[in-house]
Amino acid sequence: VAQDIINNVKLKCCGIKVLYKNKQGITMCGIVGYIGFRDAYPILIQGLKRLEYRGYDSAGVALINNEGVMNVYKEKGKVSNLEALTSQRDISGQIGIAHTRWATHGEPSAINAHPHVSQSGRLALVHNGIIENYSNLKILLEKEGYTFKSSTDTEVLVQLIEYMQKKYDKSLENATIMALRMVVGAYAIAVIDKNCPDKIVVARKSSPLVIGIGADHKEFFIASDALPIVEYTKQMVYLNDNEVALLKIGKKIEINNLNYEDITPEVKEVNISLESLEKGGFEHFMLKEIYDQPRCMADCMRGRLLLNEKRIVLSTINMHRERLMKAERFIIVACGTSWHAGLIGKQLIEQWANIPVEVEYASEFRYRNPVISPDDVVIAISQSGETADTLAAFQLAKENKAMCFGIVNVVGSSIARASDTGIYIHVGPEIGVASTKAFTGQVTVLTLFALALGHERGTISKEEYESTIEELGNIPEKIKSVLAKDEEIKDIARSLTYAENALYMGRGFNYPVALEGALKLKEISYIHAEGYPAAEMKHGPIALIDENMPVVFVATHHQLYKKIISNIEEVKARNGRIIAVVTEGDEAVKEIAEATIEVPSTLASLAPLLSAIPLQLIAYHVAVEKGLNVDQPRNLAKSVTVE
């Protein structure tokens, strides 16, 4: 019957091509919902604040009060603007949904903000994703007399659900399934109906959605990730693609897929401490996360780096030894900072395990016809585990039967779940949009993996294996000693405040560090910065150098040290301003540079774990000095689920 209805509706599209093939295109926003016995508003607002890192163009909330009236408030800008709007208004109600938005369709405005309400005012819906065929659906609905207030794809979806509900006299959950069967695109949605204030319907495809279950099913929480839920319950269900869940007070969760088949919910116990979500006395999350790094590294290596026994234990190698040993090639796919970590991983794996590694921007990889063989291992590196391009690249690898190996921070995220195996970096929630501790966590995991693999394959000498293990154990303390130089770094950073451009140079293992340093500066201080392998300077960037161009060199005492000194001299000869990260006790660079920052001596292969820290701090202090929003820089989002 359902199929007949769908077909019927499809026919009614009068030749409009409702279904088409492109399944890409996802967006990033945060959604929160609550149903139960408490006041929903404070839970929703607090939840939005925890999700604000996902987007902060506008925010909104819909609540059904005890008289069955639905109040919807929406405001442009941050959640605090929404709070200002709702003061003195009716915010009562024990059921509600809320949203923080990063605009895709339609400019950031109160009208385009979610929740969107259906024509009759009965339904409200929040959505994270993109409905790709929304314009065709809109034409269909307009023919049926529907009118639209906003220019969003989401409003089309809520109208479509209402259309199904009315036309076919269906329950909210069945109408939602019927509507979603017509939708092409990506979504995590939550819908409420003021005529049925005892339920919320949620659904997911390609955008994350977590359900928290209160005691005896007397309350339910929903959110884009576990952060808004964790203070209320640890029992969570991660909805899978094409699933629709009915959350009804006093009843167990009912899940159906889009073919109306019953799905048994898989309840997981999630343990994240709320304390780890707070700023812990620091002015910004980014600074807290930079300072977290010694502890994060220790957490990341715990149980994996056995210092006394001088060995590394990784369950992924124990469980998948044969498959990993026969790998002919690794392909690393990632974006942004994670891609930089991948470049370091390539050098480590090639050096120790003697297996060729390619490092690809996930967004490029997924759209060409890459050669992937079943003997390849494709490593996706992602802090959030939700980056759309990385996930799609991974899916491509899966289709080609390669092994999918995830290096992810967020437990239970989409990439984590799509992995055949992998290693969590375990650095705890990273809230600052500019990634810091996740980068060092990723590099740490790649180091452990490359060492362990090299050892298994017999391609690393016992001496190098053991001495690297020993030195890895020293790195957290050495990071602490870099952090102790923060005041000095802050002074040096001041000299960059008014720069319009900056160059970052490094060689060998420090080349990706230079890229990462430049990215950090761009992201949060809005200064144009480029990273280069230092020897490439003479093939172009040198033309930019004059007395106004700061050049940050990562020139620690390793095999290419002498060569990089020549590069520094070349900048000096053109009056460039030189800031250099050097090894403790360095003399040669100090003589030439305007300022140097010393980091403790370590092995070349581990240098990035130390030299990245001053560059993170430089970017941080420049942004603070410029009075910018460090944790939520303009136009960026933490979890880029948009292609």
Which residues bind to ligand G6P, rule: CB under 6 A? 335-338, 382-384, 387, 390, 433-435, 636, 638, 640
- Alpha helices in 460-560, H assignment, sequence order: 462-483, 486-494, 510-525
Cα separation, 98 vs 96, in Å, equals 7
Q: How far is the CB of 435 from ligand G6P (least distance, A)?
A: 4
Residues with catalytic roles: 29, 638
Cα separation, 297 vs 436, in Å, equals 12
Output 41 or 511, the one with its CB closest to ligand G6P: 511
| Closest residue to ligand G6P: CB criterion | 336
Output 286 or 579, the one with its CB closest to ligand G6P: 286
CA angle 62, 64, 68 (to 5 degrees): 145
CA angle 175, 176, 182 (to 5 degrees): 95
Cα separation, 427 vs 385, in Å, equals 13
Contact 122, 162 (CB under 8 A): yes
Contact 246, 173 (CB under 8 A): yes
Cα separation, 455 vs 461, in Å, equals 8
Retrieve residue 36's tokens.
């139960």
Residue 627 carries which DSSP code? Answer: T
Contact 86, 65 (CB under 8 A): no
Q: Give which of 436, 484, 479 is closest to 619, Cα–Cα.
A: 436
Q: How far is the CB of 266 from ligand G6P (least distance, A)?
A: 24
Q: How far is the CB of 223 from ligand G6P (least distance, A)?
A: 17
- Cβ count near 198 (within 10 Å): 14
Output 256 or 641, the one with its CB closest to ligand G6P: 641
Q: How far is the CB of 429 from ligand G6P (least distance, A)?
A: 12
Q: How far is the CB of 336 from ligand G6P (least distance, A)?
A: 3
Output 170 or 340, the one with its CB closest to ligand G6P: 340
Cα separation, 75 vs 83, in Å, equals 9
Cα separation, 121 vs 265, in Å, equals 31
Output 156 or 344, the one with its CB closest to ligand G6P: 344
Output 260 or 526, the one with its CB closest to ligand G6P: 526
Give the DSSP H or E segment for 262: strand 262-263
Q: Give which of 249, 245, 251, 248 is closest to 263, Cα–Cα.
A: 245
Output 62 or 287, the one with its CB closest to ligand G6P: 287
Dihedrals phi, psi of 315, to nearest 5 degrees: -65, -30
Q: How far is the CB of 141 from ligand G6P (least distance, A)?
A: 35
CA angle 434, 438, 441 (to 5 degrees): 155
Output 271 or 635, the one with its CB closest to ligand G6P: 635
Residue with tokens 């590694």: 357
Q: How far is the CB of 263 from ligand G6P (least distance, A)?
A: 28
Strands 262-263 and 58-64 turn out to be unpaired
Q: How far is the CB of 383 from ligand G6P (least distance, A)?
A: 4
At residue 367, the 3 state secondary structure works out as coil
